[in-house]
Structure 1
């Protein structure tokens, strides 16, 4: 049983959050670029998929039903939004939407960092025995 299996989904979620951060900042930096199309990251779906794939279990008896122990990395998917048009120059970036997404992503990232730190504190406590 690998004690670091519970950290793998958090690592994947943090990586996806970094991709989201880069995508949002790219949208913001191109707010005035003619014909630029806003990009989005399929983030929550990837997070849920990573959590489902990395569910770990311990079988106390070999006759118990096996659980999935896959650890395949889930890669975030960046999509371009061609369906909306906000500006007359063909650009569809809305600064208010991007700033809200940036704040939401930052909150999610901070929550995942706190959870990761908590996992390491728990491991440290288990190693020390106190």
Structure 2
């Protein structure tokens, strides 16, 4: 019996996304003074589409059709290859990174809060509503 459906798994994926985004932002901030370093970002759309593709099978009427089950996993991390923010070729904008870090922290806290709510509900059920 699955009490929560796929909610906990979805929240886990949200935490994984937030952790990957946090690591990427930290890497960008750490390389603020590195010449020719290009800033990286995490695309939720890429992460979501890859997870969705892994869980959905494809009906193939031709061998040339794409088999979604065999797609390689992609973290959704990409860099801005042609973007230069400073004269030394560095592509990191510190203000943007700090705002992304704050937004990611808010997202992370919201997911953790929701996960705690699910566990509190489960604990309440185990105790019999007392």
Q: TM-score, normalised by structure 2?
A: 0.75
Q: Do 2:46 and 2:76's aligned partners in 1 also have CA atoms closer than 8 Å?
A: no
Could you tell me how far 1:83 is from its partner in structure 2? 2.9
Q: For 1:79, what is the secondary structure of its paired residue?
A: strand
Larger proportion of helix: 2
Could you tell me how far 1:3 is from its partner in structure 2? 2.4
Structure 1 residue runs of 5 or longer lacking an equivalent are: 55-73
Could you say if the C-alpha distance between residues 79 and 49 of structure 1 is closer, same or farther in structure 2, counting changes exceeding 3 Å? closer
Take 1:30 and 1:42, find their aligned partners in 2: how far apart are those partners? 20
Structure 2 residue runs of 5 or longer lacking an equivalent are: 56-72
Q: Do 2:50 and 2:74's aligned partners in 1 also have CA atoms closer than 8 Å?
A: no
* Structure 1 residue ranges, 4+ long, deviating more than 2 angstroms after superposition: 43-51
Q: TM-score, normalised by structure 1?
A: 0.75
Q: Do 1:23 and 1:41's aligned partners in 2 also have CA atoms closer than 8 Å?
A: yes
Residue 106 (str. 1) matches residue 105 (str. 2): yes
Could you tell me how far 1:45 is from its partner in structure 2? 5.5
Q: For 1:40, what is the secondary structure of its paired residue?
A: strand
TM-align CA RMSD: 2.3
| Matches for 1:56-71 after TM superposition, within 5 Å | none
Alignment partner, residue 32 of structure 1: 33
